[in-house]
Amino acid sequence: MEKTKSSFLIHLDYETLLEDLTLEDKGVLLEAMFAYSSNKPLPKMKSLTKMAFKFIKRQMDYDNDKWLRKCKKNKENAEARYKTKGKEDMPYDATASDGTQTDATNADKDKEERVKSKENGIKKKEESIKNNEIVRLVQKLYDSIVANGITYVVNNPPNLNNWYKDMELLHRVDKVSLDDIEKAISYATSDTFWKANILSASKLRKQYPTLEAQMKTRRAGYQNGKDFSDKFDEVFGGANG
């Protein structure tokens, strides 16, 4: 990142990214943020730390670009004021000799740019929250697989950046909500068959249609059984009482 100022922002929503990092990894991540903002070589990071830094880096770039745009705008406004110096007697909303409005027009443009910048900021915030949730789901899948005692995954640490890409595609391209992805992870890592077969995010994405169908079947079966039990109690409950 081009060094343009002597500081960078730390956003509160980074907390989600840091939840599953060790204290040592958090320190490495902070070191990477300082290095990136100063155009210095990045420290060596583990897979999960790299993934967290990937999103923080994107936010740092956005914050820096926003600051540069603000500086540019302030410079343009200062130059405009300098050029019009000596014309203080001209009304604020005066019309120039060519029939165009000057200050009023500039004020409208400034307002439009502020509104647009605010909208972009909101979109960026929403995107950051979504990205953090995907990171959390990747970590949940990995932790659940490890908890199931799958030694292959433990002895061969996966590339979690690739897991993130598959999880993001499942959400963005396949149109599966984050809540439904989390339900699928919980189901797949607790089911006797699936917990031995879904050992990556790519496998989760590939098998999601089957998982979804099975979850719906089980929910329907549970509800049918519950309805029968309620009906049985309604008919025979009084007699048993």
Residues 197-212: pLDDT tens digits?
999 999 999 999 999 9
Half-sphere exposure of 203 (CA within 13 A, CB side): 14
Q: Which two tokens stand for residue 27?
A: 């320190």
Please give the average per-residue pLDDT across 4-18, as a whole number.
Answer: 79
Q: What is the pLDDT of residues 87-108, one digit of tens each?
A: 554 444 444 444 444 455 556 6
Q: Answer for the pair 134, 167: CB distance below 8 angstroms, yes or no.
A: yes
Rg (CA), the chain: 28
User: How many CB atoms neighbour CB 76 within 10 A?
Assistant: 12
State the pLDDT confidence band at 12, using cuts at 50, 70 and 90: confident
Higher local confidence (pLDDT), 5 or 42:
42
pLDDT at 148 over 60: yes
Percent of the chain, pLDDT > 70? 70
pLDDT of residue 99: 46
Asked if the model's pLDDT at residue 48 lies above 70, the reply is yes
What is the Cα–Cα distance from 198 to 181, expressed in whole angstroms? 13
Q: What is the mean pLDDT of the chain?
A: 79
Q: How far apart are CA 143 and CA 136, in angstroms?
A: 10
Q: Is 175 left (phi over 0), alpha (psi -120 to 50) or beta?
A: left
Which residues, including other chains, have CB under 8 Å from residue 132's CB and lie 6 or more apart? Answer: 13, 16, 17, 55
CB 41 within 8 A of CB 69: no
Q: Letter for the amino acid at 82?
A: Y
